[in-house]
RNA sequence: GUGGUCGUAGCUCAGCUGGUUAGAGCGCCAGAUUGUGGCUCUGGAGGUCGCCGGUUCGAGUCCGGUCUUCCACCCCA
């Protein structure tokens, strides 16, 4: 019968109901982004490997999907190179393009290429799929959408505040509980300096970042892997323990101020303080200063933030931060930006498990027009078309030889609320039978009344 | 990338220690008189037991490989 059909690992098909739900999320995001003055761009699904490689660390490079060159590319490869079997090296010869891994790096490339036509500060949003050759698991796919908002070309902290505002707007619009964790890479830098391990900063941040997952004792244990002096570790422990016991942002800032001595660290704390003050003034809430938030991506240099659901355990649903030099790698230095990315697929999973999608979303067809008498088919079709000109979504049944019984059953399966039944008598009287499939009630109405009734429901 | 895990009708699953024509519920299709669905009743269709190979007289059931699913690590949305 069927041959073995399958789709690649970590990818998914979406049925009509799922697409409608996903589009609801995308539309909500777009509406909010637009409200805050952001404009959309799109970039190709593939980029040159040279723009992608080296931007996500060694781990990230491995997760890139590479695209085989077209043409007879084997000509350029010597027998020695084949025999060497150095996959890494060989793939660079065979592939010059790759699927994008995120939207931030393509955006940086876009900014550099279009710098002369862009008006800075540039506020863009971008909603497109990205691909990672990761091992799939729950909330983790090889193809998924990112919904990015970035402000580039200003180092004003108002950028951060606006992003926090957007987060609140989005999750309130979606009716989801959330909490935003905020920190600053400069504070982490300060901590590292104070412990004299600034040369192991990346390792330090990844360990710190695991706190909510493995607990503080494990974190302290892992910190021993670093060449950290005992007295520094002891001090750090005391500080972190105190910090975690405090619940308000104000107290946490006060404590951080008293502990962190390095200049960079102090700048970071001041930034956080300013952002939180401003956020407070405009009534933003659910923001928590969390000194252990680190985030993996190396290009962040200032503020970092991460949003989690308070209702479903699924990892972060939005994350971002400030990068002072993202375009520097492409030859345009000193352009500061701040941005974040919403994980639409995870938001979908949360909303689906909590049944938070609007009820009528998945039933976009308003009325099913039955068609069961061949002789008057053209008249029924005409009525269907009149309904459509009145902004009513109409499903018209194609085959007049199929029994009404069957047609009603189809309307029922399609979950359509209204069925319009039109026979010879109805045509003659210009009164049509409108049936409510939920209640079973039927009304004999004029066309105008039919339109009103459907629109009211 | 490392270590586990799952895979039987459209869906959710059952199938004891290998043994005759592989089952259930739901769904689907057709009827219960010709212009009325959802409930009920009756009947029916549908599976190369993920794929490839091996052990065996004989495998859905054991072994190996492979693909897929889910999970932990890594990393991340």
pLDDT for A85 equals 65
Scanning residues 221 through 280 of protein chain A, those with a beta carbon under 7 Å from any atom of strand B turn out to be none
Contact A309, A177 (CB under 8 A): yes
Nucleotide nearest to A308 (CA to C1'): B77
Spatial contact of A287 and A180, defined as CB atoms under 8 Å apart: yes
Does residue A295 reach within 7 angstroms of strand B, measured from its CB?
A: yes
| Spacing of A402 CA from B30 C1' in Å | 14
Distance separating alpha carbons of residues A305 and A449, to the nearest angstrom: 54
Each residue of A294-352: pLDDT tens digit? 876 678 889 999 999 888 877 788 999 999 888 988 999 989 999 999 989 889 888 88
User: Which of A153-167, A176-190, A203-217, A424-438 is predicted least confidently?
Assistant: A203-217
Spatial distance from the CA of A138 to the C1' of B6 (Å): 14
Residue A387: Cβ within 10 Å count: 20
Determine the nucleotide nearest to A205 by Cα–C1' distance.
B75
Alpha-carbon span A294 to A451, nearest angstrom: 57
pLDDT tens, residue by residue, A149-165 = 999 999 999 999 999 99
pLDDT digits (tens, 9 = 90+) for A93-149: 888 999 999 999 999 999 999 999 999 999 999 999 999 998 888 778 999 999 999
**Which chain B positions have some atom within 7 A of a protein CB?**
1-3, 28-30, 34-38, 46-48, 50-51, 67-77
What are the domain boundaries of chain A? 10-177, 178-310, 364-456
More confident site: A260 or A209: A260
DSSP codes, A180-209 = EEEEEHHHHHHHHHHTT-GGGHHHHHHHHH
The superfamily CATH assigns to domain A10-177 is Bira Bifunctional Protein; Domain 2 (3.30.930.10)
Calculate mean pLDDT across residues A178-192: 93
Answer yes or no: are the C-beta atoms of A118 and A98 closer than 8 Å: no
Pick out the nucleotide with least CA–C1' distance to A442. Answer: B36
pLDDT of residue A1: 39
Looking at CATH, the fold of the domain delimited by A178-310 is given as BirA Bifunctional Protein; domain 2 (3.30.930)
As a rounded value in angstroms, the CA-to-C1' distance for A254 and B64 is 63
Residue with tokens 């990346």: A202
How many CB atoms lie under 10 A from the CB of residue A57? 14
Q: In what order do the strands lie in the sheet with A394-396?
A: A394-396, A367-369, A418-421, A432-436, A442-445
Of the CA atoms within 13 Å of residue A291, those in its CB half-sphere come to 34
Rounded percentage of chain A residues whose pLDDT exceeds 70: 97
Which nucleotide's C1' is closest to A432 (Cα)? B35
Q: Report the complex ipTM.
A: 0.84
> Does residue A2 register a pLDDT over 50?
no
| Strand B neighbours among A 303-342, CB < 7 A | 315-319, 341
∠A372-A378-A380 over CA atoms, to 5°? 55
Distance CA A415, CA A239 (A): 59
Superfamily of domain A364-456: Anticodon-binding domain (3.40.50.800)
Going by C-alpha positions, the residue among A42, A176, A164 that lies closest to residue A110 is A42
Distance of CA A298 to the CA centre of its chain: 20
Domains A10-177 and A178-310 in one fold: yes
Is the distance from CB of A394 to CB of A366 less than 8 angstroms?
Answer: yes
For residue A359, report the phi and psi dihedrals to the nearest 5 degrees.
Answer: -60, -50
pLDDT, greater one: A72 or A451:
A451
Cβ < 7 Å from strand B, A residues 391-410: 403-406, 408-409
Give A7: exposed, middle or buried? Use CB within 10 Å, 0-12, 13-18, 19+.
Answer: exposed
A6 SS3 class: coil
């Amino acid at each position: 019968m069927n041959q073995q059909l399958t789709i690649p690992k970590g990818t998914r098909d979406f049925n009509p109901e799922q697409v409608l739900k996903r589009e609801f999320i995308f539309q909500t995001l777009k509406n909010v982004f637009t409200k805050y003055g952001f404009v959309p761009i799109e970039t190709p699904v593939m980029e040159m490997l040279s723009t992608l490689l080296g931007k996500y660390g060694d781990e990230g490079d491995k997760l890139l999907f590479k695209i085989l060159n077209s043409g007879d590319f084997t000509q350029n490869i010597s027998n020695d190179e084949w025999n060497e079997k150095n996959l890494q090296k060989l793939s660079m010869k065979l592939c010059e393009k790759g699927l994008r891994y995120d939207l931030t790096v393509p955006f940086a490339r876009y900014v550099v290429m279009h710098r002369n036509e862009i008006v800075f500060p540039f506020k863009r949003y971008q909603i497109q799929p990205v691909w990672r050759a990761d091992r799939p698991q729950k909330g983790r796919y090889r193809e998924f959408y990112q919904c990015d908002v970035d402000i580039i070309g200003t180092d004003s902290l108002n950028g951060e505040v606006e992003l926090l505002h957007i987060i609140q707007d989005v999750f309130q619009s979606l009716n989801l509980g959330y909490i935003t964790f905020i920190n600053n890479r400069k504070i982490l830098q300060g901590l590292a300096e104070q412990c004299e391990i600034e040369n192991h900063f990346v390792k330090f941040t990844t360990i710190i970042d695991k706190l909510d997952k493995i607990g503080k004792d494990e974190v302290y244990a892992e910190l021993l892997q670093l060449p950290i002096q005992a007295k520094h570790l002891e001090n750090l422990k005391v500080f972190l323990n105190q910090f975690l016991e405090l619940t308000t942002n104000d107290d946490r800032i006060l404590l951080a101020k008293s502990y962190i001595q390095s200049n960079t660290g102090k700048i970071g704390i001041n930034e956080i303080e300013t952002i939180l003050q401003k956020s407070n003034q405009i009534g933003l809430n659910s923001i928590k200063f969390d000194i252990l938030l680190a985030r993996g991506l190396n290009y962040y240099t200032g503020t970092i933030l991460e949003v989690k659901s308070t209702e479903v355990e699924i990892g972060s649903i939005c994350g971002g931060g400030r990068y002072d030099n993202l375009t520097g790698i492409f030859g345009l230095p000193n352009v500061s930006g701040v941005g974040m990315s919403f994980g639409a697929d995870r938001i979908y999973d949360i909303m689906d498990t909590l049944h938070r999608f609007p009820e009528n979303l998945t039933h976009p067809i308003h009325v099913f027009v039955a068609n069961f008498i061949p002789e008057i088919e053209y008249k029924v079709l005409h009525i269907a078309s009149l309904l459509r000109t009145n902004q009513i979504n109409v499903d018209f049944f194609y085959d007049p030889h199929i029994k009404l019984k069957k047609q009603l059953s189809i309307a029922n399966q399609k979950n359509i609320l209204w069925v319009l039944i039109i026979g010879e008598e109805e045509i003659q009287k210009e009164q049509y039978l409108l049936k409510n499939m939920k209640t079973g009630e039927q009304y004999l109405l004029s066309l105008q009344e039919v339109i009103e009734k459907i629109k009211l429901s």
